[in-house]
């Protein structure tokens, strides 16, 4: 494990260009075939949490709330889900035990439910293909092209997740639960790693802390838009052009590499990690492992790129963690949360 706290020890030297490009190519190939890195067979419901429904332009949205052990209302963190977010429970509840640890640390946990392939953004329009209305085909419970004409969230209406998290949900937490809506934390994995940074960059009054685990932190890299397009089709059959057109300035709003100056100006406390893309002895060698290695390689390229950019801006309020082994899966994201927890606890509320 390599932990780099900027402002103290110097960051380790970035990977060589040839190695990074090779890793990127492997990762893009993995994304293009569609990755379901962490298989989910049944929901691991945690009875310590409760359902919290909030109205929005997207309709009623379910959230899972886990109260801090000491009953405080001023220490709050949002746990954002990944690209294959489900509509019953948040992946952090399904695949990890982080809620229990956060509660013991006297932190209130807010887990929004849903938002598959949304990037937690406000979309330009509902997701459709070739102008064909959503729901024209039944689709299937699987992934990929079979779902491009099916209905569902973000297809019969436009996703408005950024507005939801920073207005509808924020206000409901304050008005109905008494939660403090300043100096909150937010963290995410994969798709939502960059989303967590986006929320902190543009809503510093709400979020003073952001964590990204295996996030896509440089969407400006030449191959990234194509990789995201392929992954969104595979994860629910979503059209990236409904989120924003290729030349839209919205991509600057969603790209941590581009909005890094805001994080520096806000003095946001950051925790950023990405694995080496090498599997551990417990991962085993399988198709899922190989796919997870490729996707993590893409994350590592983008994360290193963001680190270089942020460093050039003089950004110092950040810890980077690059484990010697780690692929794109929930086991590693859960481990990262436990590493981050003391820092999170010391900087929110």
Q: Which residues are catalytic?
A: 190, 296, 328
Residues 160, 271 contacting (CB under 8 angstroms): no
In angstroms, rounded to a whole number, what is the distance separating the alpha carbons of residues 110 and 291? 30
In angstroms, rounded to a whole number, what is the distance separating the alpha carbons of residues 343 and 319? 9
| Best CA proximity match to 111, nearest among 97, 93, 95 | 93
CA separation (Å) from 349 to 69, 72, 106, 209, 345? 15, 10, 11, 10, 8
Angle between helices 17-33 and 287-312 (to 10 degrees): 130
Written in H, E and C, the secondary structure of 165-205 is HHHHHHHHHHHHHCCCCCCEEEEEECHHHHHHHHHHHHCCC
Provide the H-helix boundaries in the chain. 17-33, 91-95, 98-104, 161-163, 169-177, 191-202, 224-234, 240-243, 250-254, 256-266, 287-312, 330-347
């Amino acid at each position: 494990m390599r932990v780099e706290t900027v402002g103290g020890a110097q960051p380790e030297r970035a990977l060589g260009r040839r190695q990074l490009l090779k890793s990127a190519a492997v990762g893009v190939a993995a994304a293009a075939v569609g990755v379901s890195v962490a298989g989910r067979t049944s929901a691991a419901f945690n009875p310590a949490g409760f359902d919290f429904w909030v109205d929005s332009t997207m309709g009623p949205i379910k959230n899972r709330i886990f109260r801090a052990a000491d009953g405080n209302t001023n220490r709050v963190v949002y746990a954002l889900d990944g690209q294959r977010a489900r509509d019953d429970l948040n992946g952090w509840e399904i695949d990890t035990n982080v809620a229990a640890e956060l509660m013991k640390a006297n932190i209130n946990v807010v887990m929004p439910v849903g938002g598959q392939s949304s990037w937690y953004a406000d979309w330009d329009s509902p997701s459709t293909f070739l102008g064909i209305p959503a729901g024209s085909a039944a689709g299937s419970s699987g992934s990929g092209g079979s779902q491009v004409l099916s209905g569902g969230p973000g297809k019969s209406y436009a996703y408005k997740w950024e507005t939801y998290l920073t207005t509808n949900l924020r206000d409901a937490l304050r008005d109905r639960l008494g939660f403090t809506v300043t100096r909150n934390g937010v963290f995410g994995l994969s798709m939502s790693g960059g989303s967590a940074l986006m929320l902190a960059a543009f809503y510093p009054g709400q979020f003073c802390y952001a964590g990204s685990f295996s996030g896509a932190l440089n969407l400006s890299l030449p191959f990234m838009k194509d990789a995201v397009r392929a992954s969104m089709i595979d994860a629910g059959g979503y059209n990236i052009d409904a989120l924003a057109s290729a030349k839209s300035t919205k991509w600057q709003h969603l790209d941590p590499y581009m909005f890094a100056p805001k994080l520096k100006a806000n003095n946001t406390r950051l925790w950023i990690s990405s694995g080496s893309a090498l599997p551990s002895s417990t991962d085993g060698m399988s198709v899922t492992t190989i796919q997870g290695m490729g996707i993590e390689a893409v994350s590592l390229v983008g994360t290193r790129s963001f680190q270089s950019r942020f460093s050039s801006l003089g950004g110092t309020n950040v810890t980077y963690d690059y484990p010697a082994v780690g692929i794109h899966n929930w086991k590693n994201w859960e481990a990262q949360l436990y590493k981050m927890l003391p820092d999170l606890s010391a900087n929110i509320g």
